[in-house]
Amino acid sequence: MSTGAIVMMLIAVTIVWGGLIAAIIQLRRHPEQPETDTFE
Amino acid sequence: MITYASYLRRRADLTGSAMVAGFANSSFEILAGIGVFATLGFMAVSAGVAVDETATDGIGLAFVAFPEIISNMPVGADLFGVLFFGSLVIAGLSSLISIVQVVVAAVQDRTGIGRIPAVLAVGGATTVVSIALYPTDGGLYVLDAADRFINQYGIALAALVVVVVTAWALRLLPKLQKHADTTSAIGLGRWWRITLGVITPVVLGWMMWDSLSAELSANYEGYPTGFLLAAGWGVALGAIAVGVLLALIPWRREASDSPPIDPDVRVERRR
């Protein structure tokens, strides 16, 4: 593996796996509100 | 994914769910990529050939390369083989459910029949086609050609058309953004309109051009032209034609008994 390939892999892993963790934390902090379904 | 998304509750956090779904998919693909290329690299080194000569596609990878590497494992080959093919079965079944459900839901919406008759009709029809085509000598080639063309020209082309029509013909992105922002914790910005309106069409269009020019310069996998026309182009263009025809049939089942969310009326923004 060339240095460029390793750097690209690390960048991709950081963005995608970090993004997954951030997205899960974000969703857990804002749980779905119970459905009230009051139409106005 | 669109069918699954349609089962979300009315005020579901669309942006948050989409983020998790997208990142989770890409995360597992990176994980699988690391596993696959580590395996292929090991096989290439031990056989003394280049990596691109070890396995070519999904079928060769799952049913030739991986069984070989698993059977060569020094310890736990049996257990690992069961785990590997067990995972493959679960992956296949879960994909099957998500794919067949699209057709079942469409049949229910268009004909108004119940869920169980729709499942029996769709499941029965696909079973007949599968049993007629796939156990034959040419089954693997039919699968290969149909899979390749439905992915390239059925799904990717449909996605390109959807995104161009939505973003540029109907100019719906600002409205859709408003809808998503009404119920989502993460706000969509201009970046979302640029990615969906510019980057996605450019990437998909380039992929389409790239695979079309490959298709026209040489027959896919060297298959005969008549076979490719029937099992490849026939399947892909047939899917589009059937899709257009089905779209002309009016809906029999009410899409929803609740009024659509209007972001202008009540903005109960969650933080």
Give the DSSP letter string of B138-189. Answer: THHHHHHHHHHHIIIIIIHHHHHHHHHIIIIIS--HHHHHHHHHHH-SSPP-
What's the pLDDT at B270? 43
Residue B188 counted as domain residue: yes
Answer whether residue B268 is part of any domain.
no
Mean of pLDDT values over B48-54:
72
From A26-40, B16-30, B80-94, the region with the lowest mean pLDDT = A26-40
Owner of token pair 């099992």: B231
In a domain, B212, yes or no: yes
Q: Say which of A13, A26, A32 has its CB closest to residue B186.
A: A26
- Angle, helices B139-149 vs B234-248, to 10°: value is 60
Among candidates B157, B128, B139, B174, which has minimal Cα distance to B236? Answer: B157
Contact B185 A40 (CB under 8 A): no
Band of residue B227 on the pLDDT scale cut at 50, 70, 90: confident
Each residue of B236-255: pLDDT tens digit? Answer: 888 888 888 888 887 776 65
B198 occurs within a structural domain: yes
CB A17 within 8 A of CB B30: yes
Torsion of CA B51, B54, B55, B61, to 10 degrees: -100
**Chain B contacts in chain A segment 3-32 (CB below 8 A):** 12-13, 16-17, 19-20, 23-24, 26-27, 29-30, 32
Helix axes B173-183, B14-47, angle to 10 degrees: 100
Is residue B137 situated within a structural domain?
Answer: no
- Decide if the complex's ipTM is over 0.85: no
Q: How many domains does chain B have?
A: 1
Contact B23 A13 (CB under 8 A): no
- For helices B14-47 and A3-29, angle between their N-to-C axes, nearest 10 degrees: 150
What is the distance in angstroms between the Cα of B25 and the nearest Cα belonging to chain A?
A: 9
Confirm whether B243 is domain-assigned: yes
The residues, any chain, with a CB within 8 Å of residue B144's CB and separated by 6 or more, are: B57, B59, B221
Instruction: State mean pLDDT over B188-192.
Output: 89
What pLDDT is stored for residue A40 in this prediction?
Answer: 44
Q: Is B55 left (phi over 0), alpha (psi -120 to 50) or beta?
A: beta
Confirm whether B77 is domain-assigned: no
- Mapped onto helix, strand or coil, the DSSP state of residue B43 is helix
Place of tokens 């060339």: A2
The domain containing residue B187 runs over which residues? 145-247
Q: Say whether B258 and A39 touch across the interface (CB within 8 A).
A: yes
With CA atoms as reference, report the closest residue to B92 among B82, B103, B100, B102.
B100
Alpha helices in A1-40 (DSSP H): 3-29
B150/A contact by beta carbon, under 8 A = no
Indicate if the pLDDT at residue B157 is higher than 90: no
* Percent of residues, chain B, with pLDDT higher than 90: 25
* Secondary structure (3-state) at B56: coil
**Residue B40 pLDDT exceeds 60:** yes
**What contacts 24+ positions apart, CB below 8 Å, involve B207-215?**
B207/B156, B208/B152, B208/B156, B208/B157, B208/B160, B211/B152
Helix axes B156-164, B200-217, angle to 10 degrees: 140
**Confidence at residue B271, expressed as pLDDT on a 0 to 100 scale:** 39
Label residues B72-98 b or e (16+ Cβ within 10 Å = b): eeeeeeeeeeeeeeeeeeeeeeeeeee
* Cβ count near B213 (within 10 Å): 9
Q: Is A35 on the interface with B (CB under 8 A)?
A: yes
- What average pLDDT does range A7-36 have in this prediction? 87
Report domain extents, chain A. 1-26
Q: How does B102-128 read in b/e, with b if 16+ C-beta sit within 10 Å?
A: ebbbbbbbbeeeeeeebbeebeeeeee
- Assigned domain for B17 exists: no
